[in-house]
Amino acid sequence: MIRLENVTKVFALDGRSKVVADDISVTFPTGRAVALLGRNGAGKSSLLQMIAGTLDPTSGRIVSTGSISWPVGFAGSFHPELTGTQNTRFVGRIYGVDTDELIDFVEEFAGLGAHFRLPFRTYSSGMKSRLAFGVSMGIGFDTYLVDEITAVGDASFKAKSDRMFKARMEHAGAVVVSHSMEQIRKLCDAAAVLEDGQLSYYEDIEQAIAHHNRNMTAGTG
């Protein structure tokens, strides 16, 4: 369960204020895969970061039960001079998991070959995403935060990522940001729409998508 209690987030940009969350109170139930929909710049990634605990709200609070992942696919915490193997071991130690098992999982899943033992700074963006997704999926969280990661990579890796995500969802929940409605329909069983700092939660995905589409159409007029 993730509960937002009167959450407000305001950014100061060039002397102006941008409100991405305006006194939001909503609960994401335990074990649900919730899509987070919204136009570019609505604040979806900021909301994920607040849920992850890496960004503080301006006011209000977020209460959760169980363990929550960092935004899946986020590679910003990896050290550029460490190898993929060393970065994986480091993350494993932070989260208290068996580091040898995690390394074996990531090496097989990410398919980086010899690059897994080369410095992270030598990786292409696609390789960084493979490593980040592999490390995220290799640790058993109660809730996974996903920010467009499965849209990265070739068709084979996308399919593998989708299968792995669905397997994790058998025992966990998620909050998923994606611009692909096809992907949302495949991966999620509830949704929320973020627009003008307001968050509307829907048990019915199609109702959420219809709301999102209306917002997008209104924004092009």
**pLDDT in the model for residue 174:** 93
Go through the chain and tell me how many residues it has. 221
| Confidence tier at 76 by pLDDT (50, 70, 90) | confident
Rounded CA gap, 217 and 221, in Å? 7
Tell me whether residue 219 is exposed, middle or buried, using C-beta atoms within 10 angstroms of its C-beta: 0 to 12, 13 to 18, 19 or more.
exposed
H/E stretch holding 44 reads: helix 44-52
Q: Domain 1-67+173-221 carries which CATH code?
A: 3.40.50.300
Rounded CA gap, 18 and 206, in Å? 29
Rounded to two decimals, the pTM is 0.86
Q: Yes or no: say if 52 and 68 are a contact pair by the CB < 8 Å rule.
A: yes
DSSP character string of 149-194: GGGSS-HHHHHHHHHHHHHHHTS-EEEEE-S-HHHHHHH-SEEEEE
Residue found by looking up tokens 């939001």 in the block = 24
Q: CA 73: distance to chain centroid?
A: 7
**pLDDT for 16-62, tens place per residue?**
999 999 999 999 999 999 999 999 989 999 999 999 998 999 999 99
Half-sphere exposure (CA, 13 Å, Cβ side) for 28?
Answer: 34
Q: Yes or no: say if 180 and 151 are a contact pair by the CB < 8 Å rule.
A: yes
Beta bridge partner(s), residue 37: 193
**pLDDT for 99-123, tens place per residue?**
999 999 999 999 999 999 999 999 9
